Structure 1
Amino acid sequence: MKNIYFKATIFSVLSAIALSSCVKSDDYDVPELQCNNRFDAANHKLSDLVSIAKAKPTSSDIIAEDYIVEAYVSSNDESGNIYKIMFLQDKAENPTQGIEIDINGANQYLDFPAGALVRINLKGLIVQVSNKNIKVGIYDPSYPVGRIEPTRLSNYMARVCDGQKPVKVDIVPLEFNSIADALKDDSHINQLIKIKNVQFQEGDLTKNFADDTGTGDRYIVDKAGGSLNLRFSNFATYAKTPISPKYSGSGDITLCLSRYTSTSNPATTSYTNQAYTRGIEDINFSNPRQATGIVGGTDLSYLGAFTEDFESYSVDNALFPKYFNYAYRGNRYWQIKTFSSNKYIQMSANAGTGVFQNLFMVPVDFTAANSLTFRVNVGFYNGDALKVYTTTDYVPGSDISTATLTDITSSFTIPKTPTSGYGTLASAGTYNIPAAVIGKGFIVFKYIGKGTDGTPADPVVTTTIQIDDIKVQ
């Protein structure tokens, strides 16, 4: 036993000395990490694909030589919302070209995360285009472009190395203040973008992000009336998440912009702009809902005394810098009209379809104001179509449903004739503003009408309303 103990002790001491010698020495080497590029340097730019893309590639369009481009991965399929496609762009910031690669498998983020710099060798692949949407894939006679099998993807695509590790950077989305700006000139297809001041359309607020049995189409809208279709897969981790209340407000959203063209007719000029979120964290709708359909209001002044006779505006004008013209329902606005050399504003649901709720909003300093008068006329009366309100808590540019409206219509006389033709502009009466109504606010002239929409059981109200000489004093 003593012998064994002695040998063990000697071994421990020698081991400690050896370990100590290694730690104190400055001669040891740290193994150098190696990351080697699979493909040679790029011999083409991503934008070069535009010139070789075809709507209906044939087998003769399969690229036969090494055709190498570099690009940054801008999409991420980790959440499951982006499925069997990958979006890439030529620059991490301020890109000028984007493409889509079709892959017959998911979880590509494990090998190609967002921000990864990759080289793509298109030898053996085809490049397809429909309405400026550039796609890369295999040749498949049954489709405009076929999907690459995941097991073969490494034959065509690989990460770019900086000598020690694969290159990965932050992708900076292009930012836009409206949907129209994002879609302008078709310049940003297959690129990562951020659109500010948008929200889900009202009809989608009661829905989940995706449908129960398939991809859901949900629409974002902006104040200018722009609309964009968002595609939400029922395989997404947030597919069953309700849009309301957490995402019912307004704000900004980051998207991979895409474009759909029917695969049965890839040469058609008809298409649908659509987009995908990479994850639910791309949606930042923390602000109150904003109004859509508002024009004007760029030069509001809250006054206690003024007269508006509309003579300074051109006929058919609907843009009033001093007032909000708000198409809350329907797509019509109060417009300037003229009769017998006199100008006024007019609204009607005649020959329209569906519901019309259209507000003409006049800013007022209620503390300084005492009364309101205006002249009114109707044409082709078939139902009451005008309401008048005051509000002191409306936030300019917001949805009118968030404001408190006080109905003062009963203070005025609104004609109910003629049922054919037009009457004559006449005083509607005087509303004395209560002393308790103070602060900055708005007088709201609200047109409420309904055109024909195939449901004759509902009353049709298409009465024309004309208003002139709004006077606050």
Structure 2
Amino acid sequence: MKTYTTIKTLVFSAIVAMTFTSCVKDDDWNAPEILCNNRFDEPTTTMANFAALAPTSGTYKVPTDGAPVIFDAYIVSSDESGNFYKTISFQDKAENPTVGLSLEVDKASNYADFPVGAHIRIKANGLVLGWDRGTRKIGSIDPTYAIGRIPSILLTRYLAGVCNGNNRMDIATLVPTKLANLNAAKQEKYLNTLVQVADVQFKLEDPTKPLTYINYTAGVGQDTDRDIEGKNGNTTVLRNSGFSTFGATLVPTKSGDLTFVVSRYNSNYQMLIRNTNDVNFVKDRFASGDPNAPEEPSSSAVNLFAGSDFENWATFLNSVNSFGIKQPLAQGVGLGLNGSNSLQIKGTAAGNDYLFTALAPAGLPASPKRITFYIKGTSTGKSLSFNVYRTSGSPAYYTYNLLNFTKSTIINVSDANDYRGAIDTKGEWMLVEINLAGAPLINLAAGKDIFAIKTGSAGVYDINIDNIKIE
């Protein structure tokens, strides 16, 4: 009888368990979700439109019972190596994203459910959106923090994977946004997105004594900043968590490509890698700390003249004075920075010619400090000279000469045009800064001559110029 009773008890327990298991389908039970179940309906908005709802101060609460607010995104972060903690970063597209956000969640090991490249869908109803300590986030309402962490048990209420048709999560191959330099990454539009910068290295006082990714105190890992530098003197900070599993690894002493998620703490940009695979440093180390390397254009820089980004050739042509343009000058379609358009100078100069003289637009900075632009290519026999026009005095312009040009540089005012030298950027974009400190009387009046480029007689040119700006 005892054996029979035991068997009855086991069978009854199994039936009860099966009954409860089959009934746990209501969301109120908080049952684990199958990640790829297309839990939410189709998107009702774009991530960019949603992100634009973030106020400059405070937060915006998405109505809990209002119309569904649903958008798609792609995961760019990973906490597998411990460098991201209870936060998920995502962007609106797998390639060429327009916006990024981070999600605060009280849950670790998110990479297991949402790996890098995962196509996700977010239903934001009931969440709050806003700027928090420098970056744009979404999360839960919290009595202590502006944006709180979503409890792990509620995560599936707001976040789910998107199926690819085979009952499996759609995993995209992310293409990092390639930027010209480290300073270019320090822009709000890149926050929480994946970018890549070439020709950078760890800044080391003694390359024969490399550092580890993080510092340790009494054997305990500490959150650590490591400086990264580029060939043109640009720098940024690589922020590594004290919990990163690669913390004790020595940083590479060579140079190369760095892939990272852009982040910011208050006003200080700090870049985050997912793991050491993001650090592809296989090239020889370059000399650091060039004192004559210019800083990248700041966010306040504006076009020096209409069409000075050369995207619209007609706009550029309408911005030059009555003398028009001279050969060898044309639009370089697709030859500019990041595949944009450029000003192409290709051919042999007939004389010491003005290629063009541009007119000042309205609204230029009242007291500009510098003019910047990028050059890529070669010249033989002669270099370039630039005129910046003045309000009075003789001659009618300040003169700046490029001379021998092989790397990013700052040029100062000269006494006269000088075309000596040659250009060779080794196939890379190099930055030129025209220092306006010696030019106090720049003619900034709208419609007046402001800037000219001159070639040297018999010089053979094959160069592209892009993004002529003033600030």
Q: Is the 8 A contact 2:35 2:169 kept in 1?
A: no
Q: Which moved more, 1:203-212 or 1:191-200?
A: 203-212
* Structure 2 counterpart of 1:291: 287
Gaps of 5+ in 2: 1-33, 295-374, 389-396, 429-471
* Structure 2 counterpart of 1:52: 53
CA distance in 2, matches of 1:325, 1:161: 49
Q: Is the 8 A contact 1:173 1:194 kept in 2?
A: yes
* Structure 2 counterpart of 1:73: 75
User: CA-atom RMSD, angstroms?
Assistant: 3.9
* Alpha-carbon offset, residue 177 of structure 1: 2.4
Partner AA of 1:54 in structure 2: P
* Alpha-carbon offset, residue 336 of structure 1: 6.7
* Structure 2 counterpart of 1:183: 186
CA distance in 2, matches of 1:289, 1:34: 44
Moved beyond 4 Å, runs of 4+: 58-64, 294-303, 311-320, 323-327, 333-338
* Structure 2 counterpart of 1:411: none
Gaps of 5+ in 1: 1-32, 262-270, 304-310, 328-332, 344-361, 364-394, 398-473
Q: Deviations over 1:314-336 (max 9, x none)?
A: 99999744167899xxxxx8967
Find the structure with the greater CA-based Rg. 1
CA distance in 2, matches of 1:207, 1:200: 9
Given the alignment of the two structures, is residue 171 of structure 1 paired with residue 205 of structure 2, yes or no?
Answer: no
Report matched runs for 1:187-206 at 5 Å: 187-203=189-205, 206=210
CA distance in 2, matches of 1:107, 1:319: 57
Report matched runs for 1:327-342 at 5 Å: none
* Structure 2 counterpart of 1:240: 248
* Structure 2 counterpart of 1:352: none
CA distance in 1, matches of 2:195, 2:386: 41
* Alpha-carbon offset, residue 162 of structure 1: 2.8
* Structure 1 counterpart of 2:229: 221
* Structure 1 counterpart of 2:274: 278
* Alpha-carbon offset, residue 83 of structure 1: 1.5
Q: Deviations over 1:190-232 (max 9, x none)?
A: 1111111111112485421112142111121112221111111
* Structure 2 counterpart of 1:252: 257
CA distance in 1, matches of 2:164, 2:64: 28
CA distance in 1, matches of 2:81, 2:180: 27
Partner AA of 2:113 in structure 1: D
**Change beyond 3 A, Cα 1:301–1:99:** closer
Question: Would you say how many aligned residue pairs link Structure 1 and Structure 2?
Answer: 292
Q: Deviations over 1:121-180 (max 9, x none)?
A: 112210012587320111123222111122221111011113322211111111122113
Q: Percent identity?
A: 31
Q: Is the 8 A contact 1:257 1:275 kept in 2?
A: yes
TM-score (norm 2): 0.54
TM-score (norm 1): 0.53
**Change beyond 3 A, Cα 1:334–1:53:** closer
* Alpha-carbon offset, residue 63 of structure 1: 4.6
Q: Is the 8 A contact 1:177 1:197 kept in 2?
A: no
Report matched runs for 1:73-472 at 5 Å: 73-129=75-131, 133-163=135-165, 164-184=167-187, 186-203=188-205, 206-212=210-216, 213-243=221-251, 247-261=252-266, 271-292=267-288, 293=290, 295=293, 320-322=402-404
Partner AA of 2:114 in structure 1: F
